[in-house]
Amino acid sequence: MNTDYILNFTPTGMIPTKDMTPHVPVSVSEIVEDVHEATEIGITMVHLHSRDAITGNPTYKKEIYAKIVEGIRKYAPELVVCLSLSGRDFGALEQRSDPLLLDGNLKPDMGSLTLSSLNFNKTASINAPDMIANLAAIMKEKGIVPELEAFDIGMINYAKYLIKKNLIEPPFYFNLLFGNIACSQANLLHSGVMINDLPEQSYWSLAGIGNEQLKMNSLSLAFGGGVRVGLEDNIWYDTARTRLATNLDLLKRVQIIASANGRKVMQPKAFRKIMNMNSGSSKYGRDFKNG
């Protein structure tokens, strides 16, 4: 078992609002500061969502992502930065691919790629086959690594289809997400089947939605995987939902559990190396051999 684990920090997401929890960072400055605090205690990468400054609603606009990335890289130039390309609110390729147009010191290392459509409690995330393929092709062309998001085993199978089509290349990084009502549930059988079915040269983190976050984070730390954690997936510190969490609360608890399992956070530099990414500081993403 690798003693170093990938810690993927998800501070904001698309759902939490200030009405739900005062701790969720939504403005550029709040997100930058939460990531700053996270880097001081140790994270491997950050998975970013951006919000409109006036409405607080999710936005795809590269101009807002640019401000967040610029703020983060002033103090953490090696941190692996992933930008969300979610289909929950935005349906056009031009919208979803907009963050991929950032370049130079603002270029993201990674972009999220959900591997099929799915239903949440009240909304759907639409990821049609041509959308998935087009986003993968743009990322490959630009040397941006897909953060492969799988909510069930069929999505892993679709990743293998993308491999056959030469749209994604190893090594791969998967977020495996459990506990959504219409997808794989947070139990040993579902997680074991998904992990076992990953393609070769895959690194993975487990995430749990809501009350399942702590369970899946703990399971992953015990069995050699990485962790996706943050207010994006869960706003509560306890399963009784009596105490709202901060991002730092969730990160510190993960690190305590990891330490008990003899594991430590993988440094961004090491993750860049195993993922064949550029070193950061001045050059980001990956140089694809035939992209």
Nearest to 141 by CA among 286, 283, 274: 286
Q: What is the pTM of this model?
A: 0.96
Instruction: Report the pLDDT averaged over residues 255-278.
Output: 97
* Contact between residue 174 and residue 181 where contact means Cβ atoms under 8 Å apart: no
The yes-or-no verdict on residue 137 having pLDDT over 80 is yes
Task: Confirm whether 27 is domain-assigned.
Answer: yes
42: left (phi over 0), alpha (psi -120 to 50) or beta: left
The yes-or-no verdict on residue 134 having pLDDT over 90 is yes
Question: Which domain CATH number covers 222?
Answer: 3.20.20.70
Rounded to whole angstroms, the Cα distance separating 124 from 117 reads 7
Residue showing tokens 């069930």: 152
pLDDT for residue 291: 40
Instruction: Report the pLDDT averaged over residues 8-19.
Output: 97
Task: Confirm whether 284 is domain-assigned.
Answer: no
Q: What percent of the chain has pLDDT over 90?
A: 91
- Give how many domains the chain has, as a whole number: 1
Which residues, 6 or more positions from 68, have their beta carbon under 8 angstroms from its beta carbon? 28, 31, 32, 48, 50
Instruction: Report the pLDDT averaged over residues 36-47.
Output: 98
**Which residue segment(s) compose the domain that 55 sits in?**
4-275
pLDDT for residue 287: 85
The mean-pLDDT minimum among 85-89, 199-203, 255-259 falls in 85-89
Q: Indicate the residue type of 259.
A: S
Which residues, 6 or more positions from 158, have their beta carbon under 8 angstroms from its beta carbon? 115, 116, 132
Task: Confirm whether 287 is domain-assigned.
Answer: no
Task: Confirm whether 290 is domain-assigned.
Answer: no
Task: Confirm whether 282 is domain-assigned.
Answer: no
pLDDT for residue 243: 98
The yes-or-no verdict on residue 262 having pLDDT over 80 is yes
Q: Which tens digit of pLDDT belongs to each residue from 56-97?
A: 999 999 999 999 999 999 999 999 999 999 878 888 999 999
Task: Confirm whether 239 is domain-assigned.
Answer: yes
Task: Confirm whether 203 is domain-assigned.
Answer: yes
pLDDT for residue 288: 65
Structure tokens given for 62: 């590269």
Q: Indicate the residue type of 115.
A: L
Tell me the pLDDT of the chain averaged across its residues.
Answer: 96
Task: Confirm whether 283 is domain-assigned.
Answer: no
Q: Outline where DSSP puts E strands in the chain.
A: 4-5, 7-9, 45-48, 50-51, 58-59, 80-83, 110-114, 118-119, 124-125, 145-150, 172-178, 202-208, 226-229, 264-265
Q: Nearest 5 degrees, angle CA 183-CA 184-CA 185?
A: 115
pLDDT for residue 282: 84
pLDDT for residue 44: 98
DSSP state of 210: T
The mean-pLDDT minimum among 7-21, 118-132, 165-179, 254-268 falls in 118-132
The yes-or-no verdict on residue 289 having pLDDT over 70 is no
Q: What percent of the chain has pLDDT over 70?
A: 98
